[in-house]
Structures are given as structure tokens and as C-alpha cells.
A and B are shown apart, each in its own frame.
Chain A
Amino acid sequence: MAQRAIREYDGKAIFSKHWEKYFSGFHYGFKSVMVTNGDELRAKAQEHGFEWLKQEALVAKPDMLFGKRGKNDLVLFRTNKPGDVTLEEAATWIDAKIANETVLLTGQKGTLTHFIVEPFTPHSQDQEYYISATTVGEDDVLYLSAEGGMEVEEGWEEKVNEVTIPITMDDASIAHLIRANVPTGIPTENKERFIAFAEQFYKFYRDQNFAYLEINPIVMVGNDMHILDLVARLDDTAGFMMADAWCGAEFPTAFGMEDQSPEEKAIAEADSKSGASLKLTILNPMGRIWTMVAGGGASVVYADTIADLSGNVSDLANYGEYSGGPTTGETKFYAETVLDLMTRHKDPKGRDKILIIGGAIANFTDVAKTFTGIIQAFETYAERMKAHNTRIYVRRGGPNYEKGLKDIKEAADRLGLYIEVYGPETHVTDIVRMALEK
């Protein structure tokens, strides 16, 4: 649970849904479609309400959370001259983009899958403004600039007014503060409009539980507002009260991040259905050291220590944790998933596999109960674990830990698995040192 980015299309959809409530007096057309290929775009153009796709010049760009699309030459707005892109040209361009891997200037690479297509909005540079809001420390900060566009980040200090709004500030004071901080570069004829919009923009950001919201540029033509580019993150912990308000916005994986493996997805799904916490990230499927650690803090400490002591972070195969009192069945499923992944590839250098079953001293999780699930997984995977010369190192404390340690030792011995078992008297991460020194 955290602040999570949403697609530009979804951000605009949320604006559109609440437009009248916040921005009555201004007009916003919400002429945007999101497609995953050219045919989808062609089909969309046949639908009622989307005739503009055939009638107007278009702009197409990927909608996959990354920025600087202009600088990456990923915004289609011209064929011969700006504002002459037709539906067919946009569809063809999209199909060309999805056919090949895309490499960004940052080095991130991947395949483009989602595009947003909108009408081309002819305007001049001086009609472009910048507005965004986020949280800095304990306060909200509203950023306002008379100069929008790609170049706003250069000369940020001079161009952008920062309005710091404490969490408890009342609406009247907020209005006063924004008025006092309106950028001097806003032309007189647009000043009142800009102030009114900025005030409502902030309330919209606040009430809809955005963590970050940026429009750059926003183009004002009279009372017509054109949201040309939008970046947004939502506070997904507020999701339970915002289900309708957020128009079903999804939280896609960042571009360039490989999609989750089936195993990671399965654990994530089990996590979402459980009162306990189950997390799994595969860092290197060929890695030698696999971890099954209880507790959010302890899992980090083990990862730190493995990276520190192994000297080679690629030895660390996975990151994850289980906590909050998972049932025996949940622990079994989690353990089976890890053991299955661990026994798929031989270590390229022919070394032993190391399985770290670690954890701090639990506050209330029953150690024996969770270990029962791990032992059941051992029964299934013992032969495969032996085939990979797996050495198991266990360290754990907490309710019923003596029984848990005894049970897991007995089970491993019976199955012929190599195991070393330690309790609270041994430093939490010292098994990493022992495993690596042997």
C-alpha cells in the first residue's frame, strides 16, 4: 500500500467525472481515448461520440507512466507539419511502435502497450501554464507557473511559485494564499480565471486523495481548459473510500519493469485475499541464495546482510516476506512457490543452494504453526532440494518457537535435508554469515 501512479487517461477520466463539481464555469471536453493497437483506435472512431477521431487532427503518445515523451520522440503530432495527423496515420504509428522494443533516453526498455489519442490543440506558447500539487513533508505544496511545457524544469526556481498549504488550513485562508502567490507572468486578462482554477485544482487534488497531480501544460483559451499532459499518483490506502470517485483507475507496472511472473502474481493474489501479509519479488531467478523471511523489517535486514556479506548482490535470488499470522495453508503455499523457483536452475558455478528461513522474534505469530506449512512444503520438494545441494539455515523466535525449531529440524533430518537451526540466542542475521562461510 503506497502512492501509486495511474495512467494519464485515467487521470483525465477522474477530472472529467468531477468537472462540474469543481470547475463549473470552465469547460473541459475530455476528448481522449486509450488503445493498445491501431485496430482498436480505428474501431473506436466508428463509435458514437468519437466522431472527432475522424474529423480532427490527432496527437498520439504512449500512456505508460513514464515522462519526457516529447524528448524521447514518442509524441506523434505531425506528419508534415504540426497538427496534420490523421486517424489512419495515428493507427499505423501505434502499430509500428508496438512491433519493436522501445529504449528510452534513461536506458529503460520495454514494449509499448498503451497509447492515449487526443485531438491536436493548436495554441501558442504563451497560452501554456503549469500547475501541480503534491505533499512535501507534512504539508501540501501547490506549484504554479505562467510558463508550461517541456522546459519548465529548467529555471524552476525563477519560473515556479511554490504555495505551501498546511494540512489543517481552512478554505478561505487557502484562497487568500493562492491569490497572494499567483505568478506575475500570468496576463491580466487571465489572472482571475487562473486563480479560480488553481484554487479548485488544489481542492480537487486534496478531496480526491491524489498524492501527486501535475498538468503540464494546461492551456487556457477563454474558459476552455485543455489538459495537454497529465501525471498523477493516487494514495491507494484511500481506495476503500474512493472506489467510485476514481473511475476504476488501475495501477500499472512501471514501463521497463518486467511484468510480474506467474509466481509473483499468485503470491500477490494470495496476499490480497488474506489478513496476513505475503510478498514475493524475484530479483534473479538464477540466484543462489533464496530467502523465506517473516516480517517486513527482518526481510529487509536479511536482504541487506546477504548483499553485504556475499559481495555479489546477484547471489540474492528473491526478496519477500510473510507476516501478520498467516495460516498453515498460506505458509505452505508460499514455501512451495519459493522452493519450486529455487529448484528450477542449477547454480551456474555448481555451488550449493542456500535457503534462509529467517525472522526476528515474533510479537504474536505462532512460529510452530507457520513452520508446519514450511515442513509440508519440504515433504513435496525434498528430492528436488537435495538435487540442488540445498543447505537450509533457520533462525526464528517468538510464540512457540522451541516447538517450531524442533519440528523443522526433525522433518529435515527425516527427509535427509541439510539443516542448521537457531533461536533468539543467535543474532538475527548471523545465519547469513554461517551459510556463506561454510
Chain B
Amino acid sequence: MGALFTKDTQAIFWNNNASAIQRMLDYDYVINRVKPSVAAIVAPTSGNKFEKFFYGADEIMVPVFRNTVEAAAAFPKADVLLNFASFRTAYDVTMEAIKIKGQFKTVMVTAEGIPERLARKMNQAARDAGVVVIGPATVGGIAPGGFKIANVGGTIENIINSKLHRAGSCGLVTRSGGLFNELSNIIAINADGIAEGVAIGGDRFVGSVFIDNLLRMESNPEVKYMVLLGEVGGTEEYKVIEAVKSGLIKKPIIAWCIGTIAKHFSSGVQFGHAGASANADAETAAFKNTAMAEAGMFVPASFNDLPKTISDVYTKLRNEGIVTEIVEPELKTVPKVRRKKEFICTISDDRGDEATYAGYPISSVATPETGFGIGDVISLLWFKKRYPKWATDYLETVIKTVADHGPAVSGAHNAKVTARAGKDVISSLVTGLLTIGPRFGGAIDDAARYFKYANDRGMTPAEFIDYMKKEGKTISGIGHRIKSVRNPDLRVSGLKKYAAEHFPATPLLDFALEVEKLTTSKKDNLILNVDGTIGILMVDMWRALGYSESDIDGFIEAGALNAFFVVGRSIGFIGHILDEKRLGMPMYRHPTDDILYNVEMADEI
């Protein structure tokens, strides 16, 4: 036990409730937290990978996941789930979270009106798993100066006025969320603020009840006394009375139950929350107030006198030296006017003395003595990582290998035709590049995608060939016009040799070579070709560098493999274009005798 939250506590926020998340981050900024209190957002229907939020004047990106399991896997230390799902789904969201072993210590449920039977099941399952549930039907809780749930405390101005920006000495437990805020204010005015506070929630069945929170506060040395705001209905206050009587709770408790009005009216008028209805005398506010006073708690004569009671208890503890003066911390200020950024850049920065590539000044990578090659620059700007030499050498090998393939291939041909039409280098180059796609250069992408797909799913080479046949697809990366087993492609031999000598492991290439054995047994030229080898080894490289399978799938989907072909082949295209300029070749017109004309008179409709 001890404190519920600390300054290191991080939460996963279920539902993209932008204003509540922003308030948490504003709070984090003001109190100088090192890490933002929201590690990730779960938004099942969002298509975004992250959401932007202000952190002070700047913006930060909070990652977005489709489900809690993925978010938890990415942030194993985020041990609070802020469940902002509706009353229809809040139960399922909590149950899913509880099942993730060892992840969540606290789940806060905001929805009001979860079916009672589901709420009871949820609360019991959480208790059995050792997870604290705050709510349902709550605004949450706060450890001032450490961690604040969602909208607790309201605006930043109010938070500072109510001294919720730093720990005081009171432990606060209420049922109502609206009065939680009010009580924080009262305690700030009449004492030194709260050390920890929880609004347990207004529904009939809530997870953690008064006694759970008060016992934790009893064990938290920061808390010197407690304020309990109960309500008409239920018998939870009696558990507190028992704990005080038995000596389990020794710290002073100031207590009041609201709803004394109910005694004036017969049943039928619902005062306040769903849980607020007295079924017996012992459940009335007046009865409970008397019982709490008799147990030795500090109970004012009416709610209007509560401030004085708090002030009296605090002054007494102060005089006894149990509460000491608080040194007010320095606070940062959140700017009043903030502007959202239209663009985001995470790879390079030109704002300092010298522009950087992923943090490396250009001068530190540019000249030969830096030891950085073009492969290093690509690893920095494309993948935001500094790759080891065997990997950057591989990237360079790929670029060199694909730089050109003669004037006859469609891309080079297009570039040449455009150059001869008198267009400039850029137009001609673009014409060539625009040819790159599924039929020209695309085999690298497809080979990586399909071989990885088969390998990920544990298919045998035979099953893979079978699968592709059923799909009605030829296997990308397999087959060559001229080259064959007996007449091997030396580019492929070179790549394989390099990989064998320098890659830590090549599981996908090994798989592809098994596939090749089967295909070449059918036809001699169905070899693993250069496109296939490049794509497959790229996957093996990423695996060896520690990327997850989903990261690698993301690279392939984003077109990173194609990008290597684009960079490499641009070298060749530019070569052809400069060649045309040098030769001064005239405008090209295709000979008509090379075209089959087959034009019929159009029918009238």
C-alpha cells in the first residue's frame, strides 16, 4: 500500500477524450513531470497512429492503439487504465484490462449507469486480480504534485487555487465528483491542501469503497489526517466506524454525510446519486453522522460548518508538529495562447547552429573521415536509427546493384524518349520514375511481402507454392528470363555471399532458397532472382536489427523497399538522360511499321 500514484505513474487512456487528456498534460507540464502522465491512447475506431497534444507551448505526440492489449505491450510500465468507455462498453474494457497479467494496478471507470450485475462482476474480478477500481461514475482521483486523473480539479487556475499542484497533508475521499473539487478547495483554504484524493463514484456498486481508500491513506506517511464525505444510503461508512473503533485507523478523520434533507420526504424523491437512497434508519445521513461522531470522528453540526472543523483539526495537528509547513514548489506556466502545428517532422531539424539528420549535424556525417557512408545517411533519415556497418554496407550494396539495367527496360526507355523530346533532367527522370510500380521494380516489395507472409505463418515451401497457385499469383522474386541454375546470376551470388559472411542470421533467405529448390526442380530458370534476394535480405536485416514483425510489415506497406529501388535506379536514369543530351539525339517517333493497326468504324448507338 502507501501512495496510490506517484510522479512516475503513467496511464493508458481508453477513448480519445482530447480535452481531458490535454488537462492531464497541462498539469504534468505545470508540476514539472519528467514523462507525460498519458503514455498511450486506446481508440478502437481511430485510423490515427498518434494524437498531438500541447505540452507547455510545444506539442507532443501520444501514440494511439486499436486495443488495450497492444497499448499495454508497448507500454508495460503504464499501470493505470483510465477507462472512459460508455456505460455500454466500460465493463468489457475493464475486464479485458484485468486479464492482462501484471499490467494494471488501478483502473478508473468514468461511465455512469453500468448495469449493476456487470458492475458487481467487474468489481469482484478486479478484487480477485488485486486491481484497484476507482468508480464507476467518478471523476477519478489525484495525487497532487504527482499524477492527476483526467478532469479532476478542473482548470489549471482552479488547480493552483485549490493547491492541487503539490502534496498537502490531507487524505480526501468523497462519493461525489463535483464535491470532490469543492472539498479540495475548502481544504486548501482552511488547511494546506490534500496529499491524495479519490472520488469513489456515485453508482450503487463501486469498486474501491471508503474503507479501502482510508486504509491506504492510513498507511501513506504523507497523509496526516483524512476528510470523508459520505452520502445518504448504503452502509459503507460503518466499515470506517469499525476501523476507527478497532484502532485500525488512528489518524484523525473529519467526516460528514450529505443528504440529511432526505428525512423530510417520503421515499420517491431521489436526492443525488443512484446509490443515495436510504432503505433503513441506519442508512440515513443523520444516523450515520451521529454514529461517526460517537466513534470519535470529527463531525460538524452541518455542512456549512465543515470548513471550521477542518481548520480546527489542521491547526491542532500543526501545533502538535505533526503537520509541518510546506515549501511551495516552482511552477511552470502554461501559455494562454497556443497554436497547433500543421506539420510534424521527426527526422531532421534546421533550427540550431547546424542542420541535423536525426540528431547528427551534417558535418559529422558528410566527409569521408567521419566514417559515414550513404547507407548511414539513409539509416538516419529513413529509419531514425544509426545502423551497424554490416547493415549500412548492405543498403549501399542494394543501391549499387539496382542502379541500372540497360536502356531497354521500360523506365530507362521512357526517360530516354522524354530527354529526346527536349525536356530537362527533372522531367525526364520523373518520367522514368513514374514507370516504377507493380510490373517494373515492384518485385522487390512483393517478394518481401509474400515470402514474409508465408514464413510468419509457418508455411512449408511446398505449402507456400501451393498457396500462391491457389491465389492465382506468380511468385514474385522467382524466375529469370535468361539466368538459370547452371547459369547463375552473379549479382545474386554476390548478395548471398555478403549476407552469409556478415548477417547474424538469414532465416527468410534460407526459407526462400528451400522454395527455390522446389521451383527449379520443375523448371531450370525458376531461380531466386535479384529482386527477390534484395527484398528478402532486407527483411532478414531488419529482423537482425531487432525490429518487430509488425514494424517490418509497416516498412513494407509504407514502400521502403521500393524506395531503395527508386534511389538506386535514379542514378541509372540520370545516366541515360545525360547520355541523350551528350549525343544530341533528335525527337523520337516510333516507326508505324512497328505498330499493328486494327481500327474499325465505330457503331452508332
Contacts and interface: CB of A to CB of B under 8 A. Distances in A.
A3 B205 CA distance: 12
A292 interface: no
A433 interface: yes
29 contacts: A1-B113, A138-B120, A166-B124, A167-B117, A168-B128, A209-B117, A235-B115, A235-B116, A237-B87, A237-B116, A238-B116, A238-B117, A281-B269, A295-B179, A296-B272, A299-B272, A300-B272, A305-B302, A319-B269, A363-B178, A364-B19, A364-B20, A364-B154, A397-B185, A399-B155, A424-B185, A427-B304, A429-B304, A432-B304
Interface stretch (A151-159, A181-189, A307-315): A307-315
Closest 4 CB pairs of A and B: A297-B176, A295-B178, A360-B182, A238-B115
Contacts of A398: 154-155, 158, 181
Contacts of A296: 176, 178, 202, 272-273
A295 B268 contact: no
Interface residues of A, number: 57
Contact of A361 (B181, B258, B277): B181
A308 B154 contact: no
B124 A363 contact: no
B202 A363 contact: no
B182 A298 contact: yes
B152 A1 contact: no
A257 B268 contact: yes
A211 interface: yes
B271 A319 contact: yes
Contacts of B204: 2-3
Given A283-B265, A363-B152, 13 more contacts: A2-B204, A138-B205, A237-B113, A253-B268, A295-B176, A298-B179, A303-B261, A304-B260, A305-B303, A309-B304, A316-B261, A424-B161, A429-B303
B123 interface: yes
Contacts of A424: 158, 161-162, 185
A360 B125 CA distance: 34
A318 B19 CA distance: 34
Contacts of B120: 135, 138, 167
A98 to B, nearest CB: 22
A49 B431 CA distance: 83
B112 interface: yes
Contact of B151 (A1, A299, A363, A430): A363
B154 A297 contact: no
B208 to A, nearest CB: 13
Contacts of B232: 300
Contacts of B121: 167-168
B231 interface: yes
Contacts of A427: 186, 304, 307
Interface string A112-145: 0000000000000000000000010010000000
Nearest to B186: A427
A323 interface: yes
A2 B153 contact: no
A14 interface: no
A239 B465 CA distance: 54
Given A363-B177, A364-B19, A364-B151, A433 B304 contact: yes
Contact of B189 (A257, A303, A360, A425): A425
Contacts of A298: 176, 178-179, 182
Given A283-B269, A429-B304, A300 B231 contact: yes
B260 A307 contact: yes
